[in-house]
Structure 1
Amino acid sequence: MDVVERLWTRATAEAPLPPGVLAGAAVVALLVVATPALWRPARTVVTIAHEGAHGLAALAAGRRLSGIRLHSDTSGLTVSRGRPTGPGMVLTCAAGYPGPALFGLGAAALLATGHAAGVLWAVLALLALLLLQIRNFYGLWAVLVTGAVVAGVTAWLPPAGQAAFAAAVTWFLLLAAPRTVLELQRARRRRTAPDSDADQLARLTGLPALGWVGLFLLLDAGALALAGSWLLLP
């Protein structure tokens, strides 16, 4: 019980972030997203969030989650069992691209209330749940490495360092989400992604795939704007 209490105390500790640190973390995240050499390896983190969102949506819709795969080309696959059509399948399929932005929005809510440590512990908890569903070696490696980095930050960095890292992760998810939607549309325009989430949703709902791409982009941009107002505006 003492260990649980200590962990809970650390996870719920408050550490308000100065505006300068929040702005600096945003700049760092933007550089990662905008620099090809940095974006390529960092994009795996977005794929983890994307596939995790598919998995959570599948469970929320009452579907049975069969497994998640992450690939070295930064693609992924989440398999669930249930009706092949209907609202549950639509929700599951639609959750991927807004997922990273919504995770970032939740993290921003914690940061805005001074619970930066809570962001890191929430990430660790979600990664642990995801690990149970990983079905390939690369996915296992990616989740374990990501979890090890976050665990190392919580174990060895002082509270100020943890808060700055949590802010950078939050901004990265918020800024990366719109870029992945633009990449999706670029792949669709080149006809290299015929079975993308947007195309599957078009077949499920009748709404054109471009409409789904626009909806994804709108949700991601809205999450970024809302989180920015929480973190940067007085």
Structure 2
Amino acid sequence: MLGELWGRASATQPPLSWETSLLFGRVALLVTWSPVGHRLVRHLVTLVHEAGHAAVAGLLGRRLSGIRLHSDTSGVTVSRGRPRGPGMVATLLAGYPAPALVGLVGAYLLGAGYAAAVLWALVLTCALVLLLVRNLYGLWVVLVLGVGVALLSWTAPAAVLSGTAYLVVWALLLAAPRAVVDLHRERRRGRRGGSDAEQLRRLTGLPAWLWTAAFGLVTVGALVAGARELVPVS
């Protein structure tokens, strides 16, 4: 079974034409920037956001205590280690760029014909996050997403897999800047709370707006680079 799973994950399909890819991009844009659609996509974005925090924290030797995903599409990752210093700064920095960078890597995989690998990588991410989830709602979100994508990847024909992978990648690339816009709006309304930008301000002394701008530059840059890969007109 593992051999068959690897065969499915490593199978290649021809990249979609730039016209078809652009069509999927337009659909993803409508979904990610509409109120109802954005709320659904935001669960995926939050999952990848928190996975980014967890991955960097683990790589830097911090002890992971758990991840919580909430019904309002927010999330939190708790790790133990030095409360200050480069490790904590890097952990906080990883969240907002994570969906954009994952989307960018996904765009390059799609360009190389590995649409199935994009979806199975998402299933693997869900499996790893499942080990760290510490609340019932988060468990439900990860299970529904992971099991749903796994079943689709196992049963759907190649054309459906490609289309789904393109939608997922476009959604990540487009929703990542939207998340930064939401962060900026919350700051302007005075709802700063314990956002990543505010925590970075307290740790580094640099203003929160500067960190928000940095998140915006990374996410927009990833969107531009990913779009050029997904829509290779020339």
Band the TM-score falls in, shorter-chain normalisation: over 0.9
SS in 1 for 2:77: strand
Among 4, 10, 26, the residue aligned to 2:8? 10
Q: CA RMSD in A?
A: 1.0
**Structure 1 residue 230 corresponds to structure 2 residue 229:** yes
The equivalent of 1:138 in structure 2 is 137
Alignment of 1:27-38 (within 5 A): 27-38=26-37
Q: Is the 8 A contact 2:130 2:139 kept in 1?
A: yes
Q: Is the 8 A contact 2:46 2:73 kept in 1?
A: yes
Where structure 2 has 5 or more consecutive residues not aligned to the other structure, the ranges are none
Q: Which residue identity does 1:4 align to in structure 2?
A: L
**Displacement, 1:194?**
2.5
Q: Deviations over 1:172-207 (max 9, x none)?
A: 000000000010011111111221100100111121
Q: Deviations over 1:65-116 (max 9, x none)?
A: 1000000011111000000011110010111111110110111111010000
Q: Which residue identity does 2:20 align to in structure 1?
A: V
Q: Is the 8 A contact 2:19 2:231 kept in 1?
A: no
The equivalent of 1:100 in structure 2 is 99
Query: If the length of structure 2 is used for normalisation, what is the TM-score?
Result: 0.96
Q: Percent identity?
A: 52
SS in 2 for 1:114: coil
Q: Is the 8 A contact 2:63 2:81 kept in 1?
A: yes
The equivalent of 2:126 in structure 1 is 127
Q: Deviations over 1:148-180 (max 9, x none)?
A: 221122122101110110000000000000000
Q: Which residue identity does 1:182 align to in structure 2?
A: V
Query: If the length of structure 1 is used for normalisation, what is the TM-score?
Result: 0.96
Alignment of 1:198-213 (within 5 A): 198-213=197-212
Alignment of 1:48-63 (within 5 A): 48-63=47-62
Q: Which deviates more, 38-47 or 173-182?
A: 38-47
SS in 2 for 1:78: strand
SS in 1 for 2:223: helix
**Structure 1 residue 217 corresponds to structure 2 residue 216:** yes
The equivalent of 2:76 in structure 1 is 77
CA distance in 2, matches of 1:116, 1:145: 21
Q: Which deviates more, 13-22 or 23-32?
A: 13-22
Q: Which residue identity does 2:27 align to in structure 1?
A: V
Alignment of 1:170-181 (within 5 A): 170-181=169-180
Where structure 1 has 5 or more consecutive residues not aligned to the other structure, the ranges are none
CA distance in 1, matches of 2:130, 2:31: 25
The equivalent of 1:23 in structure 2 is 22
Q: Deviations over 1:38-78 (max 9, x none)?
A: 21222111111111111111111111110000000111110
Q: Which residue identity does 1:14 align to in structure 2?
A: T
